[in-house]
Structure 1
Amino acid sequence: MSKRNSQEAKRAARERLRIEREKQAKKEKVRRQLFVGGAVVGLLAVVGGIAFAVSALGGDDGSDKDWSAAKSAKLVQPANAEGEKGTTVVLGGKDAEKTVDVYEDLRCPACAQFEQQLGERVKKGAEADKYQLRVHLGAIIDGNFGGNGSKNAASALGAALDVSTEAFKEYHGLLYSAEHHPAESEDKFADNEYLLDVAKNVDELKGNKQFQKDVNKGTFDKWALEMIASFDDAGIEGTPTVKIDGKKIETNLLPTELEKLGA
C-alpha cells in the first residue's frame, strides 16, 4: 500500500470513529433529557437502559401526517382551556393558593409509570381543592426519535378538553395506563384509529361524533403545537417534571410533598 493510500485509509478510519462517537454522544444526551426527571423511589420500577427505537414511521397509520400545515393553521382553542393561547389545562383546585405543575410527554414510558403510580393521587388532591393542578404536554420523543405520537395524542386530548375537563382527565389517565400506553418502540399514538379506540372507554367520548371529527380532522393540531411550544419555553429538560409553587420537586420526594399539602 502506498504512503498516500495508507494516509487516506487512516483518515477514513478516524472519520468513521468521529461519526460513531457523535452518534453515541447524541444518544446519551437524549437519554438524559428523557429521564432527568427520575423515578419515584420505591414506587416506580423504571428499568434502566431503555432504548427508544422508533419503527414503522409511515404508511397508513397516520404517522406520515403533515404537521407543517398545522403551523400556519388558525388556532382553535379547546372550550375548557385557559391562559394565553389556551395552553393552560387546569384539572382542579382553580381557587387554591398552592399550585402543582406536571410536565409530561405522552410517549414517555417514565411518565406512564408516574401516572400509573401517582396520577390518581395527584388529581384527587386537586379535586379536593388542596392545590391547583396544571398539566403541560411536550414532545421530546417526537423531536429526538421521529414520529408524531406525542403531538397527535396532545391534539386528541385537546378534542377531549373541548368536551369537558373531566373527559380530558379520564382520557389522559387512559392514554398513560398499562393497558393502553404503547411500548417505547411503537408510535401508536400517531394513529387516529388507536386514539379513538382508547377514547371508547370514556363515557363522554364514546360515540361522540364531534370528538371523533376533531381528532380525525386535526382541529386542535395547532393548539397542540402551541402547548408544546409553551412546554419548551418552560425550559423542561426531562419528563416527568413536577413543580410545586414553581419549585421543581424530585419525583421520589413527591409523596411526602403531597402529604404536606394534605393530599
Structure 2
Amino acid sequence: MSNRNNLANKTAARERIRAERERQKKKEKLRRQLTAAGAVIGVLAVAGGIGYAVMKANEPKGWEAAKEAKLVTPAHTQGKNGTEILIGDKNAKQTLEVFEDVRCPACAAFEQSSGKVLAKDIEDGRYRVRFTMYAFIDDVGGGEGSKNALSALGAALNVSPEAFLKYKSALYSAKYHPDEREDLYAKDAELLKVASEVPELKNDKAFATAVKKGTYDRWAMDMTALFGRKGIKRTPSFMHGDKKLVMPQVPQQQMTQAQYNQLAQANFKKMIDKEFGPAKGSGKPDPGKGIREGEKDPTGGR
C-alpha cells in the first residue's frame, strides 16, 4: 500500500512539474509576443513621428506659404484678385501705366525727380494711373523687401489712394530708400518707421496691424505674379494703351543731384506732353487718344 502511494505521489508531482513548465512556456511566449508587438508599435510611432516631421518640414513657409493663404484684397482695387491699382479722376479719359519695384534704384530716382509732377497730373485729372508693382529684385538679388513693402503698400491703399501715393513716395525718398543690395524693407519695423512720415498712416493702428500680420501678403504675391505683363520686365516703365513710352535719357556727365533731378523731370514732362498733349492751361488742344473710362479692364487684361 505504501509503495503504491509513493508511486502515485511521484506521478502526481511529475504532472505538476510538467504542467508548470507548460504554463511558464506559454507565459514566456506571450511575453515575447507582447514585447515584439510593443516594438512594432514603437517603430510605427517613431516612423509616424518622422513622417509628420518630414511633412511639416516640407510644408511651404514664408512667402511660399503666402501664395496659398486666404486672399484679402485692399480697398480701392479692381480686376482679378484686386491686382488693378487705378488711381485718379474716374472721368479722366486716358490711363497711364506705371511699372515699378520698390527696391529699384531707378524707380527711386524717378520718384525723387518727377513724382510730384505725376501726382499733380493725377490730381488735375490729366489721366489716371494704373500702377503695376513687381518684386523681381527679390528674385534676382535675394531678399524679401520688395514683396514686404508691396504688402505694406496694400495696407496703405486700403486706407486711401492718397495714403498709397504718399507712402510710396516716402518709401522711394532719399531719406529712406536703401541701396538695392540692402534688404532693409524686409523688416516690418522699417516699413512702419517710413509710414510715420505719412499723416494718413502715422497713428493708424489697423494699418500697423496689417503690416505686422502680413494681411496683404497673398495679394502682394498675386501682384508680383504679373511680372512680364505687356512685355514689361524693367522698371520704371511707362505705357499708354499698348504703346511703350520712351523717356529721353539724362546726359552722362558730372552734375549735382539737383541738376540731375531738374533734367530728369524735364524729360518726363517732355515724354508725357508728347503722348498726351500739353498740360491743362497751355492753350493747345488735347488729342484725346487713349483708354476710355468704362472699360472693365482698361489695359486689356494681364
| SS of match in other structure, 2:92 | coil
- The letter for the 2-side match of 1:228 is T
Partner of residue 69, structure 1: 65
| SS of match in other structure, 2:235 | coil
Matches within 5 A, 1:5-44: none
Within the candidate set 142, 145, 159, 2:155 is matched to: 159
Partner of residue 40, structure 2: none
| Total equivalences in the alignment | 199
Contact preservation (8 Å) 1:91, 1:123: no
Q: CA deviation at 1:76?
A: 0.3
Contact preservation (8 Å) 1:131, 1:261: no
Q: Distance in 1 between matches of 2:159 and 2:115?
A: 21
Q: Distance in 1 between matches of 2:162 and 2:127?
A: 17
Partner of residue 23, structure 2: none
Partner of residue 247, structure 1: 243
TM (normalized to structure 2)? 0.63
Q: Distance in 2 between matches of 1:111 and 1:133?
A: 16
Higher relative helix content: 2
Partner of residue 176, structure 1: 172
Contact preservation (8 Å) 2:227, 2:233: no
Are 1:97 and 2:107 matched, yes or no?
no
Contact preservation (8 Å) 2:145, 2:183: yes
Contact preservation (8 Å) 1:92, 1:123: no
Are 1:84 and 2:80 matched, yes or no?
yes
For 1:45-96, what per-residue CA distance to the aligned partner results, in whole angstroms no more than 9, with x for missing partners? Answer: xxxxxxxxxxxxxxxxxxxx81111010011000111222111112213321
Q: CA deviation at 1:207?
A: 1.7
- The letter for the 2-side match of 1:195 is L
Contact preservation (8 Å) 2:88, 2:128: yes
What stretches of structure 1 move > 3 A for 4+ residues in a row? 231-234
Q: Name stretches of at least 5 consecutive residues in structure 1 with no aligned partner.
A: 1-64
Partner of residue 279, structure 2: 262
Q: Distance in 1 between matches of 2:93 and 2:63?
A: 38
Q: Distance in 2 between matches of 1:74 and 1:118?
A: 37
For 1:119-160, what per-residue CA distance to the aligned partner results, in whole angstroms no more than 9, with x for missing partners? Answer: 111121111111111111001111111100000000000000
Are 1:146 and 2:142 matched, yes or no?
yes
Q: Distance in 2 between matches of 1:132 and 1:106?
A: 20
Partner of residue 187, structure 1: 183
Are 1:229 and 2:225 matched, yes or no?
yes
Structure 1 residues 223, 261: CA separation in 2 closer, same or farther (over 3 Å shift)? farther
- The letter for the 1-side match of 2:113 is Q
**Identity across matched positions, percent:** 47
TM (normalized to structure 1)? 0.72
Q: Distance in 2 between matches of 1:129 and 1:83?
A: 22
- The letter for the 2-side match of 1:239 is T
Contact preservation (8 Å) 2:94, 2:128: yes
Q: CA deviation at 1:243?
A: 0.8
Q: Distance in 2 between matches of 1:174 and 1:242?
A: 21
Partner of residue 212, structure 2: 216
For 1:204-238, what per-residue CA distance to the aligned partner results, in whole angstroms no more than 9, with x for missing partners? Answer: 11121110110000000010011111233332121
Partner of residue 199, structure 2: 203
- The letter for the 2-side match of 1:204 is E
Q: Distance in 2 between matches of 1:215 and 1:168?
A: 13
Contact preservation (8 Å) 1:241, 1:251: no
Partner of residue 120, structure 2: 124
* Most deviating of 173-182 and 90-99: 90-99
| SS of match in other structure, 1:123 | helix
Q: CA deviation at 1:261?
A: 4.8
| SS of match in other structure, 2:197 | coil
